[in-house]
């Protein structure tokens, strides 16, 4: 898992299936985390994702993409843009 691997600096979750999965393992992970979630995600209620993100240690961000399902159908470009923007400071620093 990325939290236990020293080579991993940040974590990204896309469409976290909070309706039927246990994310308690993130409770001890202080690494920065980005959650990108569709407002119509059939596997993850947006309010449950908000609660999860608020409960986790470290710097965490949630971006909800409006009018999109679990697979970001029709909004894959927006998903990519969101991830690139979040990673931009780290990419600049690495150069």
Query: Which CATH number fits the domain that encloses residue 64?
Result: 3.40.50.1820
Count of domains forming the chain: 1
* pLDDT tens digits for range 10-23: 999 999 999 999 99
Decide: 13 and 36 in contact? Cβ < 8 Å. yes
pLDDT band with cut points at 50, 70 and 90 for residue 91: confident
* Whole-angstrom distance, CA of residue 39 vs CA of residue 63: 10
Domain encompassing residue 55: 2-94
Read off the pLDDT of each residue in 58-82 and give the average, rounded to a whole number.
96
3-state secondary structure of 27: helix
pTM for this one? 0.92
Q: What's the confidence (pLDDT) of residue 90? A: 77
Say which residue, 81 or 92, is predicted with more confidence. 81
Q: What's the confidence (pLDDT) of residue 92? A: 77
* pLDDT tens digits for range 37-67: 999 999 999 999 999 999 999 999 999 999 9
Decide: 57 and 30 in contact? Cβ < 8 Å. yes
């Amino acid at each position: 898992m990325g939290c236990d691997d020293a080579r991993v600096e940040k974590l990204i979750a896309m469409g976290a299936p909070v309706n039927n999965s246990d994310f308690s393992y993130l409770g001890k992970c202080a690494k920065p985390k980005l959650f990108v979630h569709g407002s119509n995600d059939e596997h993850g209620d947006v309010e449950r994702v908000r609660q999860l993100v608020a409960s986790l240690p470290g710097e965490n961000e949630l971006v909800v993409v409006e009018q999109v399902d679990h697979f970001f159908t029709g909004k894959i470009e927006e998903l990519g843009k969101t991830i690139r923007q979040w990673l931009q400071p780290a990419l600049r620093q690495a150069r």
